[in-house]
Amino acid sequence: MDWITRLMEALGSPGAGLAVALENVFPPVPSEVILPLAGFTAGQGKISLVAAILWTTAGSVVGALVLYGLGAWLGLERLRKVADRIPFTSASDVDKSDSWFDKHGNKAVFFGRMVPVVRSLISIPAGVSGMPIVKFTLYTAAGSLVWNTALILAGYALGDNYELVDRYLGWVSTGVLVVLAISVAWFVVARVKERRS
C-alpha cells in the first residue's frame, strides 16, 4: 500500500496506471486495493479523477495484452500437447474450450474484466484461441473502464473509508476461488468415474 501511494504521489495518475498494469500480470496486490486508493487520492485533490480512470484503464489493457501475448505464444497446438500430459485432461478438452471461446469470447472478455481473479486470467485463453487483438483490446478496454470507474468512484465517495471496498470485494474474490475449486474437483471426480466405467 505504501509503495502504491508513493508511486501515485511521484507519478500522479500514470503511477496508478502502472500499478494496475503490474497487478494484471503479477497480482500480489489486487485492483480492489489499488483502484479505491486512486479514488481516495483523487478525492484529496492529489490526482485528477478523470485521469485516474483513463490511466488505470490504459494500465489494465497493457497488463491484459501481456497475458494475451503469453496465451498466443503458448498457442492451441502446444496447449493440446500439454493437456495430453496432464492427468484427467486431453487435447479434446482444449478443443472444446476453444470452441466455447470462439462462440462466447467477446462476452467472456468483457464481463471477465469485472470478476476478481478471472479478470487477469481471461486474457490467456483469448490469446490461445487467436481472438483478433483489436477486438480483444476493445472488449478489454470497455470491461476495464466499467470496473475501474466503479471502484475509483467508490474510493472517491468513501474517502477515508475507501478500504471498505476491498473488504467487501474480498468476499467476492473468495467466492470466485471457491467456485473455481469446486469446478476443478467436480471435473476430476467426473473424469475418475468416466475412466473407471
Reported as a single tens digit per residue, the pLDDT across 16-68 is: 888 888 888 876 667 777 888 888 888 888 888 999 999 999 999 999 999 89
How many Å separate Cα 52 from the centre of its chain? 18
pLDDT at position 187 over 60:
no
Instruction: Indicate the pLDDT class of residue 196, thresholds 50, 70 and 90.
Output: low
Per domain, the residue ranges of the chain are 2-196
Q: Phi/psi of residue 108, each to 5°?
A: -60, -45
Higher-pLDDT residue of 175, 92: 92
pLDDT tens, 86-141?
Answer: 765 667 767 777 787 888 889 989 988 887 777 778 888 888 888 999 999 999 99
Q: What is the DSSP letter of 130?
A: T
CA distance 115 to 110: 10
CA distance 73 to 152: 33
**36 to 4, 62, 103, 158, 160: CA distances (angstroms):** 12, 20, 34, 9, 10
* 84 touches 111 (CB < 8 A): no
